Structure 1
Amino acid sequence: MSDAIDLDAYLQRIGYRGAPKPDQTTLRALAVAHAAALPFENLDPLCGVPVQLELDALERKLLYQGRGGYCFEQNLLFAAALRMIGFTVQGLIARVLWNQPEDAVTAQTHMLLRVEADGESWLTDVGFGSMNLAGALRLEPDVAQVTGLEPFRLLERNGEWRMQACVRGDWLTLYRFDLEPRASVDYVVANHYVSTYPSSNFVQHLIAARTTQDRRLTLRDREFTVRRPGMEPERHTLPGSEDICRVLEQEFLLRLPDRTRLLQKLDALPQ
C-alpha cells in the first residue's frame, strides 16, 4: 500500500494547527486530536458495505465524506500521516481481551502502532473505540503512564505484551500482542473477518465511540453513554432510529451515509 496521503487535509480534518515535527510532543498531540475528530464507527459493516483499506479509500471516507471507521481504518490513516511527518512507524496486531477473561484465546483482530520518536519507542492506538488511547505510551513495562483521561500501563512476560487501563481503580486488559511488525495482508485478512463474519460484533451491532480531552462517548445499539473520569457514567436509551441518527450526527460528528439503508438497520436493533 502507498503511504502518500494529503497531509494538509488530514491536519485540517483533525483540527491540528502548527507545523508538525517527528517528536513525542507532536505524536501525543496528533493522537489526541485524531481521537476527538475522527470517531470510531462501524456503519459500513452494519449496513453490509465492504470496508476498504486502500489509503485513497480511507482518505475519501474519513477526510472528505465526514465519516469515521474502526481500528484498521483509523490506524492505517494515522500511520500514513505520521510517516509523512517523518516518524518511523510499524504496524502491530493484537488479540482483544476487553470484557474477556485474561486467559481467553481470541483472534488477532486489532491493529496498533509502534512509533519511534526522540530516540525512544512508543505505542499509539487511535482505533480502540470506547477505551481509545488518546496519546502515546513509552514502550516500557510495569509503569503507570498518565494520559489525559485514565492512566494506562504495559505489562510484558516472555515477549507477550498487554495493554491495560485503570478504570475506576481497577487495571483492566484491553488486548495482548507481540512486537512482530505485520504486513498489510494481515490487516486485509483480519478486516475481512471482522467486517463480514455473521457473528462479528461489527456486523450484528451498532458501535460508535469518540474520545475528547475530558470524556468518552460511546454508543452500542440504543444505549448512549457519557463517561467522565471520577464520575458515574451517564446512560441514555435512544428509543427511535431518528434519535440514534441525531446522536450520531451531533455527538459523534458523523455525516451519515445512505440514510434509507441505515434506518432499516437501526429499526432492526433490539429495543
Structure 2
Amino acid sequence: MNDQQLIDAYFHRIGYKGPHNPSLDVLNQITLAHVRSIPFENLDILLGKSINISLDAVIEKLINQERGGYCFEQNGLLLCVLQKLGFDVTPISARVRLDRPRDFTPPRTHVFLKVELSGTTWFTDVGVGGVSLTSAIQFIQDTEQITNHETRRIVYEGNRYFHQVLFPTGWVDVCEFTLEEMPEIDRELANWYTSNHPKSHFKDRLIVARAGDNGKRLTLVNREFSERDKNGSANKTTINSPKELIKVLNENFNLTFPIDTKFQSPGLRWD
C-alpha cells in the first residue's frame, strides 16, 4: 500500500471527505472523525492474542478488519497519516492518570501526539479511551479549552504537565507528561507491558469506548454500558449475558464477533 492508498483507505474508514492540507482545521476534523469511527478497545488481549503495533498490522486491524485498538495502535496510525499529509508531528510519552491518585506512579505506557502548526504547539490524542480528544488542544497552561466534547486544560505541577478534563465533579487528570519523545522502541516495550504484564489493567477488564454525536460518549467497561452526554450525565445499563455483550459491541461500536465469542476477564463472570 503506497502513501496515497493508505490515506484514502484511512479517510474512508473514518468517513472523512475534507481537505488534505496540514492545518488546524484539518487536524480537528480528522481527530473528531477518528474517535467517532474507530473505537478504543482491548478485546484482542482478552482473547489471548498478541498486540502487534507495526504499521502493517495496525492497518490490517483498524482499517481492513474495521476493528479498534488502544493508544499504540490508534495514535500510531494517526501519527503515520499526519506525517504523510505533511504535518510536523512527534509521538510523546505519558502516564495515564485516570482513576489514579497523585501519590501513585503508573507506568509510562501511553503515547499521544504533539503537532507544530505555524509556531504553535497542539496536542491530539485519539487513544485514551472514554476521554480521547475530539479536537486538538493548544499547549498553553492554566487555560480552559473547549473541545467538541469536554472542556480541557493543561497544568504544570511538580515538574510535570497534566492534561486534565472537566467533569461535573471537577477537574480530573487524564495523563501526565514531560514532553519527552516516545520513539518506536519505547512504544514497543510499553506495548508489551500493556498487553502482557499481569498487573496491566488491560488484562483484567474489558474496555471499549467511542465518541458519539452532540458531545455524547459511549463506554463499555466489563458489563456496564454507559451513554454520557456533554454535560456529564450518564445513562448506565448492566449487560446480563455474553450474547447481550456481543450485541452491544455490534450495535454501539460497530464491532462484529461470533455469538459464541468468550472474552476472558475477571469482570465478565456471568451468573
When normalised by structure 2's length, the TM-score is 0.93
Partner of 2:255: 254
1:186-210: CA deviations, max 9, x gaps?
Answer: 1111110110112322111111000
Paired amino acid for 1:250: E
Q: Following TM superposition, by how much is the alpha carbon of 1:268 offset from its aligned partner in structure 2, in angstroms?
A: 7.7
Partner of 2:242: 241
Q: Following TM superposition, by how much is the alpha carbon of 1:265 offset from its aligned partner in structure 2, in angstroms?
A: 3.0
Secondary structure at 1:218's aligned position in 2?
strand
d(CA) in 1 for partners of 2:104, 2:143: 24
1:144-201: CA deviations, max 9, x gaps?
Answer: 0010111000012465210000001501111100111121011111110110112322
Q: 1:231 to 1:74 in 2, by over 3 A?
A: closer
Q: Following TM superposition, by how much is the alpha carbon of 1:5 offset from its aligned partner in structure 2, in angstroms?
A: 6.9
Does structure 2 conserve the Cα–Cα contact (< 8 Å) formed by 1:32 and 1:212? no
2:108 is aligned with 1:108: yes
Q: Following TM superposition, by how much is the alpha carbon of 1:267 offset from its aligned partner in structure 2, in angstroms?
A: 10
Secondary structure at 2:74's aligned position in 1?
helix
Q: Following TM superposition, by how much is the alpha carbon of 1:49 offset from its aligned partner in structure 2, in angstroms?
A: 0.3
d(CA) in 1 for partners of 2:103, 2:265: 34
Number of residues paired by the alignment?
Answer: 268
Partner of 1:28: 28
Partner of 2:148: 148
Paired amino acid for 2:262: L
Partner of 1:199: 199
2:208 is aligned with 1:208: yes
Greater displacement, 28-37 / 114-123: 114-123
Secondary structure at 2:45's aligned position in 1?
helix
Does structure 2 conserve the Cα–Cα contact (< 8 Å) formed by 1:241 and 1:263? yes
In the TM superposition, 1:3-42 aligns within 5 A as 6-42=6-42
d(CA) in 2 for partners of 1:131, 1:236: 19
Paired amino acid for 1:253: N
d(CA) in 2 for partners of 1:49, 1:66: 17
Does structure 2 conserve the Cα–Cα contact (< 8 Å) formed by 1:24 and 1:118? no
Secondary structure at 1:174's aligned position in 2?
strand
d(CA) in 1 for partners of 2:256, 2:266: 19
In the TM superposition, 1:153-172 aligns within 5 A as 153-157=153-157, 159-172=159-172
d(CA) in 1 for partners of 2:24, 2:232: 30
Paired amino acid for 1:63: I
Q: Following TM superposition, by how much is the alpha carbon of 1:114 offset from its aligned partner in structure 2, in angstroms?
A: 0.4
Paired amino acid for 1:244: L
d(CA) in 1 for partners of 2:227, 2:71: 21
Percent of paired sites with the same residue: 36
Secondary structure at 1:142's aligned position in 2?
coil
For the aligned residue pairs, the C-alpha RMSD in angstroms reads 2.0
Q: 1:42 to 1:5 in 2, by over 3 A?
A: farther
Secondary structure at 2:109's aligned position in 1?
strand
Q: Following TM superposition, by how much is the alpha carbon of 1:259 offset from its aligned partner in structure 2, in angstroms?
A: 5.7
Q: Structure 2, unaligned stretches of length 5 or more? A: none
d(CA) in 2 for partners of 1:224, 1:185: 35
Does structure 1 conserve the Cα–Cα contact (< 8 Å) formed by 2:19 and 2:26? no
d(CA) in 1 for partners of 2:234, 2:180: 37
1:34-82: CA deviations, max 9, x gaps?
Answer: 0000000011111110000110100000001010000110000001010
Does structure 1 conserve the Cα–Cα contact (< 8 Å) formed by 2:204 and 2:265? no
When normalised by structure 1's length, the TM-score is 0.93
